[in-house]
């Protein structure tokens, strides 16, 4: 089952990063726009790869959730399902249409980041604060702080901090499901 979980993590990451690469090739201005990943959901040229990447990631996050045991992974399962639902909400609420959609979009994205940090924190705790995992979590956390800082200013590195945040989250998950056999069922509860 670990290999299946790791595959879902890789597929989810690939959906995001391949779609972002396609979007960046089509419209490189997004790297300087400080509008984040969602910048690409506001243009006709990039909306299809953007949507495919976000929804693909949501699908594989949902599939990952369904592979986790209900009893011992109850909250992590719910968090992944919530991330999947909120990701769909991200696609359905392009921030550029009006202020209400902008705030809904921003709040949904913020909740996703908080849930991902919580899942990563749970992993760190489950691995008894292993230094490698703790370092990755601190890097993820710093990128999350940078993403929060860059959410509103007109200039900054929002997309870069978001993509690095997601990368560290994916690495933490991949490594945790690689080493999960070393952690007892009791530690996951």
pLDDT tens-place string over residues 129-172: 789 999 999 999 999 999 999 988 888 899 999 999 999 999 99
**Domain with 70 in it:** 2-176
Q: What global pTM score does this model have? A: 0.90
Torsions phi, psi for 92 (to 5 deg) = -80, -5
- CA distance linking residue 187 with residue 37, whole number of Å: 35
pLDDT tens-place string over residues 84-99: 999 999 999 988 889 8
How many independent structural domains does the chain possess? 1
Residue 186, pLDDT score: 42
Average pLDDT taken over every residue of the chain: 90
Whether 155 is in a domain gets the answer: yes
Whether 189 is in a domain gets the answer: no
Whether 181 is in a domain gets the answer: no
Residue among 23, 31, 79 nearest 50 (CA): 23
Q: How many residues can be counted in the chain?
A: 189
């Amino acid at each position: 089952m670990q290999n299946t979980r790791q595959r879902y993590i890789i597929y989810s990451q690939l959906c995001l990063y391949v779609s972002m690469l396609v979007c960046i090739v089509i419209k490189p201005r997004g790297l300087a726009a400080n509008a984040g990943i969602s910048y690409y959901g506001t243009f006709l040229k990039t909306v299809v790869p953007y949507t495919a990447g976000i929804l693909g990631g949501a699908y594989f996050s949902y599939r990952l959730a369904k592979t986790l045991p209900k009893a011992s992974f109850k909250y992590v399962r719910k968090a992944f399902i919530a991330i999947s639902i909120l990701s769909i909400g991200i696609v359905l609420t392009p921030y550029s249409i009006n202020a209400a959609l902008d705030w809904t979009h921003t709040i949904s994205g913020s909740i996703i980041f908080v849930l991902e940090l919580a899942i990563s924190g749970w992993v760190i705790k489950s691995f008894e604060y292993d230094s490698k995992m703790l370092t990755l979590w601190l890097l993820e956390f710093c990128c999350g702080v940078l993403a929060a800082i860059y959410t509103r200013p007109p200039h900054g590195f929002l997309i870069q901090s978001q993509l690095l945040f997601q990368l560290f989250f994916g690495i933490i998950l991949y490594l945790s499901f690689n080493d999960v056999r070393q952690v007892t069922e009791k530690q996951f509860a």
